[in-house]
Amino acid sequence: MDDFDEAPKTSATPTPRPADVGGIAGEQLRAIIDRIERLEEEKKALAEDIKDVFAEAKGNGFDTKIIRKIISIRKRDRNELDEEETMLEVYMRALGMLPEVDEE
């Protein structure tokens, strides 16, 4: 048997497992990434479901822009919302967009 018939020799050093690379727990990292990817897929599916509900609302004659605004308002802190509404009213009165209020 001559030297050409032998299988090529491989390195004596085994390839490190993902858990052994640079002090990073490879299996834990892989699990975290897998979870994030699954959640991203779920988020995408939920976004599609929300889109379908808005389409249904529009099909039933509702204004989806107003629905989005209501959802946005409902998410906010009541005190923050009250303060914003007060400032909006003050500014609109200053611009003549609302009638003046008599202070007695």
54 burial level (CB within 10 Å; 0-12, 13-18, 19+): middle
**pLDDT tens for the 104 residues of the chain, in order:** 555 555 555 556 665 555 556 667 888 999 999 999 999 999 999 999 999 999 999 999 999 999 999 999 999 999 999 999 999 999 999 999 998 777 65
Specify the pLDDT at position 34: 97
- Parse the chain into domains and list their residue ranges: 23-62, 63-99
CA distance 32 to 16: 20
CA distance 85 to 75: 15
Specify the pLDDT at position 38: 98
Q: Is the pTM of this model over 0.95?
A: no
